[in-house]
Amino acid sequence: MKIFKIQFNSFARDITLKTYPFFDYPIKKDWIYLKKILISKNKEYDIKSGRTPNTQKNEYWNGDYEFLTMNYIDRDIFTIMPNIDDKISDIAVEECKQLLEVPKGNLLVSNARTIGLSVITDRSLFVNQNMFWLKIDENKYTKEFLNLFFNFIFLKFAAKRWYNKYLSKDEFLYIKIPSVKIDAQREIISKVEPLISKIKELKVQIKEPKLIADEVFSEYFKLNLSQYSNLEKKHIFRENLLNLSKSAQLRSSLKFHHPKLDFILEKIKGVKTVKFKQLLEEPIRRGVQPEYDENGEIQVVKTANLKNGYIDLSEAEYVNDEFFKIKRKKAGVKYLDILIASTGTGSIGKVDIWESNEEALADGHISIIRVNQEKVNPYYLTYYLRSIFGYSQVEANFSGMSNQIEIYSNDIERFEILFPDKTVQDQIVKEIDSKLNEQRKLIKQIERLKQRIGDLIEKAVLEEETK
């Protein structure tokens, strides 16, 4: 049980009068409400949010208009990623009247889940309902300063504060921001810019863990990545209708019948393989729907926690021990279990390994794989599944359409696994680990630079207030 003391007058800090402890936020007396710096002081004009078109209507998706969610924000330099996979169609734009297109050069701030995460748009795009477009009076505050404030000061405190994970427009109006003169804001920005530039230089050197796995496996098993890349660019090709039989579900999608998939599967056929099922200690399981308990002690692993390179539990939720004991046999996770995200476009196929000695519970969107470690190195299998050899088989075997896609345990158990002897498996793991460790060093440098930026902004804000 969590016990704390709270002053009754502190309820006034929260427009919704919630009774949980106020987060450790360095508000000063002369800080001002956000509503004071909006253009018109009319929340309906100054704060706008978008909507997500119906994901069940295929005609609304796979168009030409980029659709931004906070998943496409670079959390190191707080810019929009260059490639957004989610795109909506002309039909969606025409029929969905509540869609919101935000022009280039405007400030967006998350109002749900990652409350306070912000970005300045570098191009025109549509946004979903979990972010607010704030129209700022730029005679008082620059968007660049507010972007820094939200991301480097406000964001980390907001995560401790709003358990309901959604802020209304009214609540947003009462966020307090530091009272800093506009010249001082520009000075802070000028000090931060060189550090942001250094982060950008480091990020260019970073490769996704999946790409590292691709490179190492392709080298060992003689797969021409350049040839694969060229095939990947093909959008028009011929296909024999007889090939529909390649799929048990008679799938006719471009993704399933794309030549790049045939290229990978043909390569697998030419090498020693075993069926995934032969490497298991027990049948693959799917997790369960958790009954969350904020006072619980057992962490829940969800799709959002799997980063396809590591497991992020910084915002983990919990179940109590009693619930875990009931569900452990079906959904329990223990040391060196492999976890695969098994539902949802953009998430399906993400894979990570559980490296904690503490047990956890997997939710219903995750498949739990416990391998026979005498037969296979679990890290080898994790990296294999993350590589194009493994992910191609996810693409070949999932069921459903649009965002409602899923891969089942029996489909995974039929995967073909490239199966060299344990010595080669260990060599592959060692090489990938070495490359990942070099990447981690770069990431640590970036984190130190981000900490310097946060310290610099906080120090500058506090100094400005004492003048």
Q: Give the mean pLDDT of 87-95.
A: 94
Residue 91 has pLDDT above 90, yes or no: yes
Give CA 397 to chain center in angstroms: 23
**Which is more confident, 259 or 460?**
460
CA distance 344 to 247: 19
C-beta atoms surrounding 212 within 10 Å: 22
Q: What is the band of 269 on the pLDDT scale with cuts at 50, 70, 90?
A: confident
Q: What is the band of 249 on the pLDDT scale with cuts at 50, 70, 90?
A: low
Residue-wise burial string across 177-193, b where 16 or more C-beta atoms lie within 10 A, e elsewhere = bbebeeebbeebbeebe
HSE toward the beta carbon, residue 123, CA cutoff 13 A: 11
Most confident of 181-190, 231-240, 266-275: 181-190
CA distance 8 to 28: 19
CA distance 406 to 349: 10
CA distance 421 to 376: 9
Q: What tens digit of pLDDT does each residue of 306-347 get?
A: 999 999 887 788 999 999 999 999 999 999 999 999 998 878
Q: What tens digit of pLDDT does each residue of 370-379 get?
A: 999 999 999 9
In order of their start, the domains of the chain are 8-179 (3.90.220.20), 209-423 (3.90.220.20)
Residue 29 has pLDDT above 90, yes or no: no
Residue 435 has pLDDT above 80, yes or no: yes
Q: What is the band of 242 on the pLDDT scale with cuts at 50, 70, 90?
A: low
349: left (phi over 0), alpha (psi -120 to 50) or beta: left
For residue 403, the model assigns a pLDDT of 64
Given a contact cutoff of 8 angstroms between Cβ atoms, the answer to whether 96 and 128 are in contact is no
Q: What is the band of 405 on the pLDDT scale with cuts at 50, 70, 90?
A: confident
Q: Which residues are registered as beta bridge partners of 166?
A: 112
Residue type, 455: D
CA distance 77 to 224: 33
Q: Which residues contact 174 (CB under 8 A, 6 or more apart)?
A: 15, 33, 34, 35
Q: What is the band of 95 on the pLDDT scale with cuts at 50, 70, 90?
A: very high
Residue 3 has pLDDT above 80, yes or no: no
Is 0.85 surpassed by the pTM of this model? Answer: no
For residue 218, the model assigns a pLDDT of 93
Among residues of the chain, what percentage have pLDDT more than 70?
Answer: 86
Residue 234 has pLDDT above 80, yes or no: no
Q: What is the band of 16 on the pLDDT scale with cuts at 50, 70, 90?
A: very low
Torsion, Cα 111 26 458 119, to 10 degrees, reads 0
Tokens of 187: 């000075």
Q: Give the mean pLDDT of 42-47.
A: 87
Among residues of the chain, what percentage have pLDDT more than 90?
Answer: 63
C-beta atoms surrounding 210 within 10 Å: 19
Residue 194 has pLDDT above 90, yes or no: yes
For residue 431, the model assigns a pLDDT of 98
Q: Give the mean pLDDT of 426-438.
A: 97
Most confident of 55-59, 107-111, 400-404: 107-111
**Which is more confident, 367 or 22?**
367
